Amino acid sequence: MTKFITVFIVFSFLFATHFSNEGREGSVKIGDCPAACDVRCSATSHKSACLMYCNQCCKKCLCVPSGTYGNKEECPCYNNWKTQEGRPKCP
């Protein structure tokens, strides 16, 4: 019986981690974008612009990278969206 419980726990953990979408595209609902962007833009001195672009990117990509800087590899759409000049659009 203990083997069954152990196997069940391991498979439950693997199933949960495999289907978890946290930190990836689609991990944020549109209604949660403002809160996610508040965190992302909390350390910048250009808060208004950061929030505007972050929310725009979040609504398109349904993802905001963790932290206040970097980690864009978590969200390829967010990372790859560029301005006409080829610079990153998303903060």
Mean pLDDT in residue range 79-87: 94
At residue 11, the 3 state secondary structure works out as helix
pLDDT at 27: 77
Which one is predicted more confidently, 38 or 8? 38
- Answer whether residue 28 shows pLDDT above 50: yes
At residue 88, the 3 state secondary structure works out as strand
pTM: 0.71
What is the DSSP track for 27-61? Answer: -S-GGGHHHHHHHHTTT-S-HHHHHHHHHHHHHHH
CA distance 26 to 23: 8
